[in-house]
Amino acid sequence: MTLAASLPTPSRHRKGSQSPARMKSIGRLTGALYLLLAIIGGSSYFLVSETLIVHGDAAATTQNILSNEGLFRAGVAAWLVTALIDIVIAYLFYWIFAPASPRLALMSMVFRLIYVSVHAAALTSLFDVISLIDQGAAAGMPDTVLRLAEAHLNGFMVSLLIFGVHLMLLAVMIYRTGAVPRLFAVLLMLAGGAYAGDTFALALLPTASAASGYIDQAVTILATAGEIGFLLWLLVAGIRTPHIR
């Protein structure tokens, strides 16, 4: 069975096809996609954005990218793949929760799609770096390369504020419907707040400050506990048919 064939369609949705067995299978599909998203997105961020880009050092950043051009290009391609996966996940969460909480489900989907759009727009900066590489101009324009690379990261941080709102809306739906244990509603609410707080911290606090470092650590811990725990639950147990309680 292909992924397209396994996805629920609007016509199936109207026929009331949210049987317990189907909900479990859709929940597990969502969990599998979420795990794939975490692996690809995490690898791209830590192996490319964190390894190749040296903040404040244009020469080192440019040298790293040129010396690892294949890795850099693969990282950009990986970001594109995560955008496509995110779109599918946004739809699946909408399909799961819309019958029980249509307005929140729509808002949650819209915020996730906006997050994807903002990050996709930020990715154009990395395509500009690729253009400089293809033109043979990157080595002579290190300041421009660093500026473009950091522009992507800044755009990504802005997108995480929107993603945080999506997670908080998802947490509210989980809490109200009991689709998964309510512990995950609490964890996802904390993770969403951490993402949003991290974006505001970028704007309000010096990057090298102790408070900024603590916030980064908190985001890592809360995001791991919330999102990874949630996706593992979906993979193992699936999801129950949501009901407003």
Nearest by Cα to 199 from 149, 162, 147: 162
- CA distance linking residue 184 with residue 207, whole number of Å: 31
Angle between helices 58-67 and 69-97 (to 10 degrees): 90
Q: Which residues of the chain have pLDDT under 70?
A: 1-17, 207-213, 244-245
The single-letter DSSP state of residue 180 is: S
Q: Of 145, 134, 122, 126, whose CA–CA distance to 61 is shortest?
A: 145
Is 144 in contact with 132 (CB distance < 8 Å)? yes
Do residues 126 and 76 touch, judged by C-beta distance below 8 A?
yes
pLDDT digits (tens, 9 = 90+) for 158-202: 999 999 999 999 999 999 999 999 999 999 999 999 999 889 988
Please write the tens of the pLDDT for every residue from 40-62: 999 999 888 889 999 899 999 99
